[in-house]
Amino acid sequence: MSHRIKVLVADDSAFMRRALATILESEQDIHVVATARNGEEAVAKTLALRPDVVTMDVAMPVVDGLEAVRRIAAQAHVPVIMVSAHTRAGADATFTALELGAVDFIAKPDAAYENIDSVARDLVEKVRGCAGRAQVVVSGEAPAKSRVKPKSRPRASTYECVAIGASTGGPVALSQVIPALPASFPATVLIVQHMPVGFTDALARRLDALAHVRVREGRDGAALEPGVATVMPAGKQLALERRRGGVALRLVEDGESLHVPSVDVLVSEVAKAYGAAAIGVILTGMGHDGAAGLRTLKARGGYVIGQDESTCVVYGMPRAAALAGVVDRVAPLSEISEILCGLCAT
């Protein structure tokens, strides 16, 4: 057999350590090399064993998960996936962990383990996607709140909507792009970030605290406004509805799609509602969600920006879009907000 992915599982609950280890060991290409009961053990075993991936609880004794992530990011450069509680405090701690160097997170199974199959799929997919990936250092600090100087407009269109899709590494990437947009940004911004139910509101609140533009979680029937960024709520698919004087957001059920919400659906809906007045942005993430929707956007005259490989945590979604031939401009994360301002002539 080819190289098995080596995983270290860190959690203060013996039951949770066994549960996660059992999920991972059921896959032929994954091997749990060790477990840790606290953050101090997690750091020591990571340095000694050099696993390919670490899964990390947040609340642990001796040294908590946040400090353990900081130390691993500084000393070992091993990808860390957080195992996060479905609480407001858990979500806030998770985003702090991502800013400290964790690459992704999964939702901790609920008390009744009714969601264990979903958690298992998510965990295995993310371990495989992060294994062997060199850590990308992207500062979690908000950019200085100063006006971004515009560049010349590359085409004559007036852009009214920016659709942004992201997955693994997306929360930190968004914390670089959205706060760098000025309060006068003239387009509405729609965001799909792959994450479990219960975390998108925390993401919206966190971005809103950093940004000049307003950031909110999407609500059914809400009118889209210039200078407002809307994070699509996890667990709902979106549709856009043209009304007299504007466009409204509709949230719909979808029990069949792999990603809910989906970047493909977001960009396709934006393409139908805004046509050539739309910009698509595809950020870091595993898989290929977004490529098909961006093809629709391009067919209707829209403009597409793709994050470059060097600044992606996982160069999956931007790569798929680039291979599909739908990306007009590839750029490092640090330049994307400036490009958007130039396109929208702010």
Range of the domain at 23: 5-130
Question: Which of 130, 153, 169 is at the close of a domain?
Answer: 130
Catalytic residues: 167, 194, 289
Helices assigned H by DSSP within 115-199? 116-130, 170-177
Spatial separation of the C-alpha atoms in residues 237 and 167, rounded to whole Å: 16
Are 88 and 174 members of one domain?
no
Per-residue pLDDT of the chain (346 residues; tens, 9 = 90+): 468 999 999 999 999 999 999 999 999 999 999 999 999 999 999 999 999 999 999 999 999 999 999 999 999 989 999 998 877 788 899 999 999 999 999 988 766 566 678 889 989 999 998 886 644 444 434 333 333 333 334 554 589 999 999 999 999 999 999 999 999 999 999 999 999 888 999 999 999 999 999 999 999 999 999 999 999 999 999 999 998 889 999 999 987 888 999 999 999 999 999 999 999 999 999 999 999 999 999 999 999 999 999 999 999 999 999 999 999 999 999 999 999 999 998 5
Domain-located, residue 83: yes
Full-prediction pTM beyond 0.85?
yes
Are 101 and 198 members of one domain?
no
Spatial separation of the C-alpha atoms in residues 300 and 297, rounded to whole Å: 5
Question: CATH code at 123?
Answer: 3.40.50.2300
- Residues of the chain by 3-state class (helix, strand, coil), percent to 5: 35, 20, 40
Domain-located, residue 145: no
DSSP state of 276: G
Question: CATH code at 183?
Answer: 3.40.50.180
Question: Which of 130, 148, 170 is at the close of a domain?
Answer: 130
